[in-house]
Amino acid sequence: MSDNGKMWGARFEGELDPQFAEYQDSLQHDISLAFADLDTNLAWSEALVSAGVLTDDDFDKIATVIEGLAAHWHEHGIPTDSDAEDVHSFVEQQLVAKLGDLGKRIHTGRSRNDQVATDMRLHLREWVGCLVESIEGLCLALVEKAAVHAGDAIPGYTHLQRAQPITIGHHALAYVEALSRDRERLIDAHNRFDQCPLGSGALAGTAFDVDRDALAARLEFQHGPTRNSLDATASRDHLCEVAFACSMTMTNLSRLAEDYVFFAAFETGFVRFGDAVATGSSLMPQKRNPDAMELIRGKAAKVQGALQSLLTLMKGLPLGYNRDLQIDKELLLPALEATNQSILVAATAIENAVFDTERCAREAGRGYLNATDLADLLVKAGVPFRDAHGIAGTAVNRAVELGVELHELPAAEQKTLLPQLSGDLAESLSVQAVLDRRNVIGGTAPVRVRAEVERWRILIAEWAEGYHEFEDFDPDEEDLEIELEQPDAE
């Protein structure tokens, strides 16, 4: 460190302007990389041994201090009294305080540019593991909802107009499909960023003879070292990808939330949220608001904003590293947090959403949701579909006039309007019959929904054995109980 306390201070005689000093300080945003930074310091120290810069004995001392610091921080949180400008200078300060000159040797042949790139990938892979696990939990909650309501009817909508009856289970499993793709997207993104940038130096590669393959293996990167130092230090597309995977997840959650807000409206009355996830009004005593779902819808805006900001952050940057890139963490990390919390809250809200199954079934039988089936019955009686569509439409018009449903049309009306059909419409146009007819792969028939529930149960159990390399990660621990000055709270 130079006299002015900065790791880069030697060329500078004056102090930083205090306002700028605060402006450029990123510690409050990147402190959550502290554990990753310890890992990279340890791995780099080992690489320096193989490069002949440090001895085995030096490495043992460094390892002891790093392990001690990690244990101490896990137990007591990270000290808050640092004037370091970022997490890397903070960790270096701590190492120098305990190791003296030896601590100052660790930055040999390394730059904060390859360091931050590596830290971020290590941190991100833990986040991906955590998000994947949270999505799996939500999928399971939805699958269990579907299991309970595999045969329970609810109106299905297109254009938010009643369209055809579906089962509540079918609706729940629709979101499992979408979320399972979000899960895969996260895993794909991890697969692509699973390469080690350390050894890239500031932009051109380190000048020391380090074994980058060993370094990558030590840090458990699956695809070895990055292959171009300029790209490795300057690219952030993997952050954008993860931000997109989160944004897509949030978009799906937001649609789920919107559906449930609608289901909980007085006008529909399909769902009642339990006390665990509903809130009241400070003024209107009768209110019972679906705030959990509304907040999920709201947080989606925040996460999507992060994606847009990251793309914009990147678009004008020349290669290699530019300080603009420091803002990436400020954007992405809160988005990861918001996404994870939203997934967890969504699971709780789903578990606490109680369907009024009688009302749902009754409403599925009102509003001519069986008109398509009437046309289909006519087709089966030999009428070309286009004509059948017209005949069924006329029947709907007449039923509307009479104030009845299609299956309630008086026998005389049926005879005139639908001479091709002799059977009992009440039976063949019942909600149950309409549901049962959709007995096709992907259809809403209860028997199909039950089969899908079984399929998902097996798949989710397999997931739990699959992608869980970093499942010890606990984002709450990443809060680290630090009291660094926070930006204005949300």
C-alpha span between 288 and 8 (Å, rounded): 57
Residue placing its CB nearer to ligand ARG in the complex, 11 or 323 = 323
CB of 277 to ligand ARG, least distance (A): 37
Please choose, out of 12-20, 37-45, 176-184, 317-325, the segment that lies near ligand ARG by the rule CB under 6 A.
317-325
Tokens of 338: 């918001």
CB of 27 to ligand ARG, least distance (A): 9
Residue placing its CB nearer to ligand ARG in the complex, 314 or 417 = 314
CB of 246 to ligand ARG, least distance (A): 20
Residue placing its CB nearer to ligand ARG in the complex, 33 or 102 = 33
Among 198, 215, 264, 325, indicate the residue that binds ligand ARG (CB under 6 A): 325
Residue placing its CB nearer to ligand ARG in the complex, 50 or 309 = 309
CB of 300 to ligand ARG, least distance (A): 26
Q: Exactly one of 159, 170, 180, 309 is catalytic; which is it?
A: 159
Non-local CB neighbours of 265 within 8 Å, separated by 6+ positions: none
CB of 334 to ligand ARG, least distance (A): 15
Residue placing its CB nearer to ligand ARG in the complex, 5 or 384 = 5
Is 159 in the active site?
yes
Q: With contacts defined by CB under 6 A, how many residues of the chain interact with ligand ARG?
A: 10
CB of 234 to ligand ARG, least distance (A): 11
CA angle (422, 424, 430) in 5-degree steps: 135
Please choose, out of 206-214, 318-326, 442-450, 466-474, the segment that lies near ligand ARG by the rule CB under 6 A.
318-326
Residue placing its CB nearer to ligand ARG in the complex, 35 or 321 = 321
Is 32 in the active site?
no
Span 5-34, contacts to ligand ARG by CB under 6 A: 26, 30
Residue placing its CB nearer to ligand ARG in the complex, 41 or 326 = 326
CB of 316 to ligand ARG, least distance (A): 16
Residue placing its CB nearer to ligand ARG in the complex, 10 or 461 = 10
Q: Exactly one of 74, 223, 281, 468 is catalytic; which is it?
A: 281
Span 326-365, contacts to ligand ARG by CB under 6 A: 326
Span 148-187, contacts to ligand ARG by CB under 6 A: none
CB of 109 to ligand ARG, least distance (A): 15
Write the secondary structure of the chain as one string of H (helix), E (strand) and C (coil).
CCCCCCCCHHHCCCCCCHHHHHHHCCHHHHHHHHHHHHHHHHHHHHHHHHCCCCCHHHHHHHHHHHHHHHHHHHHHCCCCCCCCCCHHHHHHHHHHHHHCHHHHHCCCCCCHHHHHHHHHHHHHHHHHHHHHHHHHHHHHHHHHHHHHCCCCEEEEEECCEEEEEEEHHHHHHHHHHHHHHHHHHHHHHHHHHCCECCCCCCCCCCCCCCCHHHHHHHCCCCCCECCCHHHHHHCCHHHHHHHHHHHHHHHHHHHHHHHHHHHHCCCCCCEEECCCCCECCCCCCCCCECHHHHHHHHHHHHHHHHHHHHHHHHHCCCCCCCHHHHHHHHHHHHHHHHHHHHHHHHHHHHHCEEECHHHHHHHHCCCCCCHHHHHHHHHHCCCCHHHHHHHHHHHHHHHHHHCCCHHHCCHHHHHHHCCCCCCCHHHHCCHHHHHHHCCCCCCCCHHHHHHHHHHHHHHHHHHHHCCCCCCCCCCCHHHCCCCCCCCCCC
Span 83-122, contacts to ligand ARG by CB under 6 A: 86, 112-113, 116
Provide the residue type at 459 as one letter: L
Of 2, 24, 4, the residue nearest 14 (C-alpha): 4
DSSP bridge partners of 153 = 167
Residues that bind ligand ARG (CB under 6 A): 26, 30, 86, 112-113, 116, 321, 323, 325-326
Residue positions annotated with a catalytic role: 159, 281
